[in-house]
Amino acid sequence: MDGGFQESNRRGGLENVPGAVGFVKAVELVEGESITLHLDMRGFAVSTGSACFSRTLETSHVILGIGGGHERAHGSVRFTFSRYNTLEDADNVADAIVEVVENLRRISALSQ
C-alpha cells in the first residue's frame, strides 16, 4: 500500500467523508487545542490543522475551502489512522473523545 506524501507515505488518499462531516459538527461545539491536549494526556496522538502543513501553524486550506474561517480551521482536530491501527484503537479514541468533550463542556464558561 502506498500513501500520499502526508504522514511519511503511510496514509492512503481516501477519506471518511461521513465521519468528517459529523466531526465538523462536534468541532463547532468545542475548542480543538483543548481536545488535543486532553487526548494527548490519555496517550492519543492527534493534532490540529492540516496534515499537509503539520509542521507549521499554517491554516488548513481544506477547512477554508469548505467555508470555514481561520478560527474554525485552527480549532479543528485531525485524527489519522493507518494499517497499523486496529478497530480497538478506533473504539478507544472514540470513547476518549466523548469523555473529553463532555468534561470540557462541563467546565466551559460558554456552556454555562
Strand partners, 78: 47
- Exactly one of 10, 23, 47, 52 is catalytic; name it: 52
Cα(11)–Cα(82) distance, integer angstroms: 6
Residue 38 known to be catalytic:
no
39-64 CB burial, b ≥16 within 10 A, e <16: beeeebebbbbbeeeeeeeebbebbe
Query: Measured at the alpha carbon of residue 60, what is the angle toward residues 54 and 62, in degrees to the nearest 5?
Result: 125
Of 45, 35, 38, 41, give the one whose Cα is nearest residue 89: 45
Q: What residues are annotated to the active site?
A: 52
